[in-house]
Structure 1
Amino acid sequence: MGIREDRELTDLHDLLRDHGMIPDIPDALLTGQDAEALLRQVLESPPGAAGLLTDSPVARRETGRTVGRGRALSAVAAAVLVVALIGAQTTHPATATAATPPLLDYTRASPSDIATDELPDAHDALLDLAAVARSTPEPARDGRVQHVVAQEWLLETTITASRGAEPENALYPTRTELWVAPDGSGQVVQQRSAAVTYDGRLDPDAGPSTGGTASADDLPPGTWDATLDERLPRDPDALATQLIDTAATECSLDGWSGYCLGEQIQSRFLGSVVPQDLAGSFWEVLAAEPTVRLLGETTDRLGRDGTAFLVPVPTLSGQPQDEDSALVLVVSPETGQLLSSETLTTRSALLEIDEPTVTGFSAVTSSGYTQAVGR
């Protein structure tokens, strides 16, 4: 590699780092062949990934509308275009699948166990967490506006006519901030967040990327049902019935209730400040589901200790049987609150995955009340 190319790569690295797209490289990786292999992996990432947009999980679950990212990505797109141009000069073909963070470590399961039906039953562990949640006092409220912040990593796949049937994958490290007022109005703000570190962790102190706001939506009264958590029944059977009744149609099919309940519960923690007694009822609901399995103790991507559970995603009869994935929920053993959730894909023809792979996660970094929307 010549002096000019060396300088261009240095400038490119600085630009990506300044926009929060890559973390600092650990010293252990800055030696000889390891550094060269790491650089080659970056340069051979699929071109064009920067042009893909993703939607807000909060907006998707609560309003069904897509939150666009707008002009804030222009600098990012330009930076990745440089990666594509330089990567095109390498002698190795680009891989079709974007890099993903490593799996979390679980005390009761290895990666090979995750794709099997041999994981332990989760019933007792969930009931223990339900008791913890109910015995934990409610935090003091500083206002009436719900405020939830999550660090998220979202994978989006698109297929375009120009690439035929070949999928394009893109990664979106995102900080999602949600405010919900008593009248159901609110605001959703999404910002580029610091990149995931090489060990798969997030830096809770990194703050938003210098790339700035990716999207900001002010939503009118009635957008959210701000009192839903107060009205949901605490009896586990009645709660499960209401959650299934408001879920997708397929959730009434045999074998779907565990996953659908897990998704509904996850959406409440990401879209509202869940009271402690309701959190306890949520875990009692899942304890009655035989498809919910125990992964064991883990440390989530923010370094917090939690208990992890896995719920396989069912498939509809008659659909291609080439996709296997699961929802992972990580719960705090101290408060009974949801810490984070992950999408774990074990097999996917579309994503070219044939081993357990993390294809998305959301980590709740704060959940409480404030005095006004936007602060």
Structure 2
Amino acid sequence: MSGGFTLSAVVPRVHRTWREADGSGRTEVEWAEPEFENGTDPGGWASPRAGTGSENWQPGGRATSFGDRRPPSTVAELDRYPRRPNPPDDIGPIKTLVAVTDLLRERVLTPPERAATLELLGRLPDVRYQGATTDRIGRAAEAFSMDSACAGLPTRYTLLVSPDSGEFLGNEQLLTTSAGSLNVTVPAVIEYETYVHADFR
């Protein structure tokens, strides 16, 4: 941001993570050239234009909010499992939804763990069913969302779930009424993740 102007771009990234039972693992990241709105001069873009990165870690060598034990497969235990000081409890039920999206970056859930996670989300008072849709790669999905300004701007947080398997397919964040200093027109998707492939080996 310079002189009151924010340069916004879409930056596609691909994350691949492998996690072993002992807690060791590897992450690879690729980010592509940023995509700017037609007619936008990208001369002020200061971030890297494209690149790759990787990280290997040994058991206990990577900080995580969830530790190395498996997620619980009961709602009562799962409700306590993702609790951490930040974000604070006073942001309300959105804390649980955000914790679930963080968990999905860390773990491939087993069917019982996934069922407990879906039931936990279904019990949150502010979750709304948005209907059938497709995800970013064309898969059938059911959308469930929650609105919150916990990050500073009114945002709709949406989880996409497979209607057949109950697998989580992705999540999105949509600015609903205000973009603040961001150079986008609302409503505007400011972040989304698509879980292309996740399994145990």
Structure 1 residues 249 and 364: alpha-carbon distance in aligned structure 2, compared to 1, 3 A threshold: closer
Which of 304, 325, 343 is matched with 2:155 structurally? 325
SS at match of 1:282: helix
**TM-score with structure 1 length normalisation?**
0.45
Residue of structure 2 in register with 1:74 after alignment:
none
The structure showing larger relative contact order (alpha-carbon pairs under 8 Å, at least 6 residues apart) is 1
The C-alpha deviation readout for 1:7-50, integer Å capped at 9, x for no partner, is xxxxxxxxxxxxxxxxxxxxxxxxxxxxxxxxxxxxxxxxxxxx
Q: Does 1:172 pair with 2:46? A: no
More helix by share: 1
Partner of 1:261: 96
Q: 2:53: which partner in 1?
A: 215
- Map 1:1-375 → 2, pairs under 5 A: 159=1, 163-192=2-31, 214-222=52-60, 223=62, 227-228=68-69, 230=70, 232-243=71-82, 245-246=83-84, 248-250=86-88, 252-253=89-90, 256-315=91-150, 323-346=153-176, 347-353=178-184, 355-370=186-201
* Percentage of matched positions with identical amino acids: 21
Deviates more, 1:350-359 or 1:333-342: 350-359
State the SS of the aligned residue for 1:269. helix
Q: What is the CA distance between 1:242 and its match in structure 2?
A: 2.9
Structure 2 CA distance for aligned equivalents of residues 213 and 268 of structure 1: 26
- For residues 5 and 51 of structure 2, what CA distance do their matches in structure 1 show? 31
Tell me if the contact between 2:97 and 2:121 (Cα under 8 Å) persists in the aligned partners: yes
Between the aligned partners of 2:20 and 2:77, the Cα distance in structure 1 is 27
Query: Runs (4+) of structure 1 moved beyond 3 Å?
Result: 192-196, 224-227
CA displacement at 1:273 relative to structure 2? 1.0
Could you give the per-residue CA deviations for residues 335-370 of structure 1, whole angstroms, max 9, x where no partner exists? Answer: 111001111112221214452111111101111134
Q: Could you tell me how far 1:248 is from its partner in structure 2? A: 1.6
- Structure 2 Cα separation of the partners of residues 282 and 213 of structure 1: 34
- Structure 2: give runs of 5+ residues left out of the alignment: 36-48
Normalising to structure 2: TM-score of the pair? 0.80
The residue type paired with residue 196 of structure 2 is T
Pick closer, same or farther for the CA change 1:274–1:173 going to 2, 3 Å: same
- What number of residue pairs does the alignment pair up? 184
Structure 1 alignment gaps of length 5 or more: 1-158, 197-210, 371-375
Q: What RMSD, in angstroms, separates the aligned Cα atoms of the two structures?
A: 2.6
Cα 1:337–1:257 shift into 2, 3 Å: farther
